[in-house]
Amino acid sequence: MNIQKLIIEAIKEAVQKNIDAKIFPQAQIPDIVLEVPPQKDYGDFATNFAMQSARVFHMAPRKIAEELIKQIESEYLVKAEIAGPGFINFYLKAEVVHNQLKDVIDKGLSYGNLPAKEHARIQVEYVSANPTGPLHVGHGRGAAFGSALVNLLRAAGYDVQSEYYINDAGNQVDNLAASVNARYLELLGKDTEFPENGYHGHDIIDTAQRIIDKENDKYLSMDNDERLAIFKELALKEKLAALKEDLAAFNVHFDKWFSERTLHPAAVEDACAVLMKNGAMYEKDGAKWLKSTEYGDDKDRVVIRDNGVPTYLAADIAYHKNKYERGFDKLINIWGADHHGYICRVKASMKALGFDADKLDVLLLQMVSLYRNGELVKMSKRTGQSVTLSELIEEVGSDAARYFFIMRSLDSQLDFDLDLAKSESSENPVYYVQYAHARICSIFRQAKEAGITVDENTDYSLLTDEAEQALMKKILSYTDEINSAARDYAPHRIANYAHDLAADFHSFYNKCRIIGVDMPLAQARLGLAAAAKNTINHALNILGVNSPEKM
């Protein structure tokens, strides 16, 4: 049981005593929340309980706080004080803080991994870009955010499965095949027309060229349809391999790659049958429609076209049905903001199938704009002129790219400054954090030489300097940060936390020497540095960013 919970228990007991003594009336007691106050003068923890309960108790907040303080008993507290409009500030005994620090050091790199939570099986589906071309920077944001979210949720004690949905059926892969086919014929000097919805990217030409390099004009004499079928499989295989390679280079790994093809036709037919049976689907003009308007959608949506071919929605309904049937407690989808109109119909279809639509959370990521030399880098999907993820990684590195994508909240549009991301200087926040880690590693190398070690007898009560105190507090607040960031699906708060922690370390470093001071103090400071190092390392692991030992 952590210290916050113990204090909350002490507050609860004090409330009960006041109720028993008829000082507080019997009432529905609000949740007791402890927060870290904005200033160190306000103690280690504070609660706004007196203000929250003012209404139900029909008492003035400060009066409630006063009575509460009289009854609070805790072996961990030096004192509790009323402040401002009715806050109660708690001041921990120094010894309690030092014991916590000792625990952190003992835990090593596992500090930050919270105990497993109940009913916590979460599935996170992200990226899921069509396997028809290279990933671009927008996918990069989804990939960085998604993988960081998965790491964060795991640290917070959830059982997470990550998944990539491969759109390997339908029009877009036919267009892929047709595009490769056209390039193939073109390269062999044949007259051909490029398909209207074809993919113009250079990677398509590369694919065609590779086919020629390998097997020359072997497919030329073939019937067009037959050749298209072969090219479809060839291109798909190649594109998928490229996707996996790009993602691996970006430190993004999936537990499961789910093929859309496995849903056709049985799972789609089955889902439609259930919708039909539940009266959520009807036939009109030869097509099958989902009655999504009954669930707040603007209009009903076609699921099976009049020619009998299922729409994208059909596969998505079957896919989400499949996810629900796998028994997760929570399903998270990460989509581009341009798909927001889609949420309603997917949720509608899940309700119509009898599932709890609230289990599904769709997170939308806003657009990314690249800036180079202060100017917007223009992108165009139509002509295939866009910066790919692998080009971005090539230019700024995986660490900087990941950090920049993650450090902003998902629902803000992101201005990505390429020059800043690749500058190897203090301007660059990712280096700032990594530098703190490298510095500590350097200290450890030298502390080893100097024979300074941390052990059971290290006396942390010697850490009384302001900089030491601030660093200690920041480290000890990490688990709360993990919990609240996980609760809010907000890995960017871990990026901000890591930056703040690095700042506290750098201040400490400049003020408090480790090597060259009295041995007991040197040991205590080295212990604190160890805790800082592990915490930075853990936070950077969540972000998927490396923790270098030297820079």
Partner RNA sequence: GCGCCAAUAGCUCAGUUGGAUAGAGCAACGGCCUUCUAAGCCGUGUGUCGCAGGUUCGACUCCUGCUUGGCGCACCA
Q: Where in 321-340 is the site for RNA (CB under 7 A)?
A: 337-340
**Any contact of residue 227 with RNA (CB under 7 A)?**
no
Least distance between RNA and beta carbon 87 (Å): 4
Q: Residues 22, 62: contact at Cβ < 8 Å?
A: no
Out of 386, 496, 535, 537, the only residue in the binding site for RNA (CB under 7 A) is: 496
Nearest distance from residue 464's CB to RNA, in Å?
16
Task: List all residues 6 or more positions away from 38 whose beta carbon is below 8 Å from its beta carbon.
Answer: none
Query: Per the structure block, which two tokens stand in for 60?
Result: 């003035």
Beta strand spans in 377-525 (E)? 414-417
Tokens 């941390």, residue located: 454
Q: Which is nearer to RNA, 97 or 185 (CB)?
A: 97
302 lines the binding site for RNA (CB under 7 A) = yes
Q: Min. distance of Cβ 214 from RNA in angstroms? A: 28
Q: Which two tokens stand for residue 218?
A: 């072997």
Q: Does 419 bind RNA (CB under 7 A)?
A: no
Among 66, 342, 363, 377, binds RNA (CB under 7 A): 342
- Provide DSSP, 269-316: HHHHHHHHHTT-EEEETTEEEE-GGGGT-SS-EEEE-TTS-B-HHHHH
- Residue whose C-alpha is closest to residue 70's, from 41, 85, 44, 50: 50
Binder to RNA among 286, 294, 376, 464 (CB under 7 A)? 286
Q: Which is nearer to RNA, 185 or 536 (CB)?
A: 536
51-80 binders of RNA (CB under 7 A): 51-52, 54-55, 61
Task: Please state the closest distance from residue 71 (CB atom) to RNA, in A.
Answer: 20
Longest dimension (CA), the chain: 96
Choice between 211 and 447, CB closer to RNA: 447
Residues 514-533 that bind RNA (CB under 7 A): 514-516
Write b or e for each residue in 386-405: b if 16 or more Cβ atoms lie within 10 A of its Cβ, otherwise e: bbbbbebbeebbbbbbbbbb
Nearer to RNA, 286 or 354 (CB): 286
Min dist CB 314 to RNA, Å, is: 8
Q: Which is nearer to RNA, 392 or 443 (CB)?
A: 443
- Shortest reach from residue 390's CB to RNA, in Å: 21
Using CB under 7 A as the binding rule, whether residue 195 contacts RNA is answered as no
The only residue of 1, 26, 31, 382 in contact with RNA, by rule CB under 7 A: 31
Cβ proximity of 519 and 431 under 8 Å: no
User: Which of 169, 214, 209 shows the shortest CA–CA distance to 187?
Assistant: 209
Q: Name the H helices within 512-547.
A: 519-543
**198 makes contact with RNA (CB under 7 A):** no
CA distance 157 to 153: 6
Verify binding: residue 118, RNA, rule CB under 7 A. no
Site string for RNA, 439-458 (x = CB under 7 A): x-xxx--x------------
Pick from 134, 140, 384, 429 the residue near RNA by CB under 7 A. 429
The footprint of RNA on this chain (CB under 7 A) covers a number of residues equal to 95
Phi, psi of 407 (to 5 degrees): -70, -15
| Binding of RNA by 292 (CB under 7 A) | no
- Closest approach of Cβ 369 to RNA, in Å? 8
Query: What amino acid occupies position 297?
Result: D
In the bound state with RNA, the residue whose beta carbon lies nearer, of 262 and 409, is 409
Q: How far is the CB of 188 from RNA (least distance, A)?
A: 29
Which of 40, 58, 422, 511 contacts RNA by CB under 7 A? Answer: 511
User: Residue from 76, 465, 503, 546 that binds RNA (CB under 7 A)?
Assistant: 503
For 74-233, strand residue ranges (E) read 77-83, 87-92, 121-125, 159-166
Contacts of 289 by beta carbon, 8 Å cutoff, 6+ apart: 281, 282, 283, 300, 301, 302, 303
Helix (H) or strand (E) holding 409: none
